[in-house]
Amino acid sequence: MSNITKAYELARERYAALGIDTDKVIEKVLSTPLSMHCWQGDDVTGFENVGGALSGGIQVTGNYPGKARNPEELRADIDKAFSLIPGEKKVNIHAFYLEADEKVDRDAIEAKHFDNWIDWANKGGFGLDFNPTCFSHPYSEDGYTLSSGNETIRKFWVEHVVRSRQIAEYIGKKTGKICVNNIWVPDGAKDNVADRFAPRARLAQSLDEIFAVKCDPAYERSSLESKVFGIGSEAYVVGSHEFYMGYAMKNNHMLTLDMGHYHPTESVADKISSILLFSDKVLFHVSRPMRWDSDHVVIMNDDLMAIANELVRNEFLDRTYLALDYFDGSINRVAAWVIGMRNTRKALLRAMLEPFAAIREMEYAGDRTGVLAIAEESKSMPWTAVWDYLCEKCGMPAGQEWLDEVRAYEKNVLAAR
Ligand code: RNT
Ligand code: ZN
- Measured at the CA of 68, the angle between CA 64 and CA 69, to 5 degrees, comes to 115
Among positive and negative, which fits the CA dihedral 171, 324, 59, 66? negative
Ligand 1 within 6 A of CB of 409? no
User: Domain coordinates of the chain in residue numbers?
Assistant: 3-416
Ligand 1 within 6 A of CB of 285? yes
CA–centroid distance, residue 221 to ligand 2 (Å): 16
From 42, 77, 225, 310, the catalytic residue: 225
187 is catalytic: no
Name the residue at shortest CA distance from atom 1 of ligand 1. Answer: 58
Q: Is the pLDDT of residue 7 over 80?
A: yes
The β-bridge partners of 284 are 257, 322
Q: How far is CA 348 from CA 212, 312, 391, 405, in A?
A: 37, 7, 14, 24
pLDDT recorded at residue 1: 86
Please tell me the distance from the alpha carbon of residue 417 to that of residue 413, in angstroms, as a whole number. Answer: 7
pLDDT recorded at residue 49: 76
Please tell me the distance from the alpha carbon of residue 210 to that of residue 158, in angstroms, as a whole number. Answer: 6
Ligand 1 within 6 A of CB of 225? yes
Per-residue pLDDT tens digits for 162-181: 999 999 999 999 999 999 99
CA–centroid distance, residue 226 to ligand 2 (Å): 8
3-state secondary structure (DSSP) of residue 129: strand
Q: Look at residues 269, 284, 291, 288 and name the one whose alpha carbon lies nearest to residue 326.
A: 288
Ligand 1 within 6 A of CB of 131? yes
Ligand 1 within 6 A of CB of 43? no
What CATH homologous superfamily does 3-416 map to?
Divalent-metal-dependent TIM barrel enzymes (3.20.20.150)
What percent of the chain has a predicted confidence (pLDDT) above 70? 100
Terminal CA-CA length for the chain:
42
Ligand 1 within 6 A of CB of 258? yes
From 37, 80, 94, 227, the catalytic residue: 227
pLDDT recorded at residue 103: 94
pLDDT recorded at residue 179: 99
How many Cβ atoms from other residues are within 10 Å of residue 347's Cβ?
25
Backbone angles phi, psi at 188, to 5 degrees: 165, -175
Per-residue pLDDT tens digits for 211-234: 999 999 999 999 999 999 999 999
CA–centroid distance, residue 285 to ligand 2 (Å): 5
Per-residue pLDDT tens digits for 78-116: 999 999 999 999 999 999 999 999 999 999 999 999 999
CA–centroid distance, residue 325 to ligand 1 (Å): 7
**Neighbour order of strands in the sheet with 320-324:** 127-129, 89-92, 34-37, 320-324, 282-286, 254-258, 220-225, 179-183
285 is catalytic: yes
What residue type is assigned to position 191 of the chain?
Answer: D
pLDDT band at 357 (very low <50, low <70, confident <90, very high): very high
Please list all protein residues whose beta carbon sits less than 5 angstroms from ligand 2, which is an ion. Answer: 258, 285, 325
Per-residue pLDDT tens digits for 270-285: 999 999 999 999 999 9
Beta-strand relationship, 236-237 and 188-189: antiparallel
pTM of the prediction? 0.98
CA–centroid distance, residue 230 to ligand 1 (Å): 10
Please tell me the distance from the alpha carbon of residue 243 to that of residue 223, in angstroms, as a whole number. Answer: 13
Q: Look at residues 300, 243, 298, 303 and name the one whose alpha carbon lies nearest to residue 267.
A: 303
Please tell me the distance from the alpha carbon of residue 340 to that of residue 324, in angstroms, as a whole number. Answer: 8
State which ligand 1 atom lies nearest to the alpha carbon of 133: 11
258 is catalytic: yes
295 is catalytic: yes
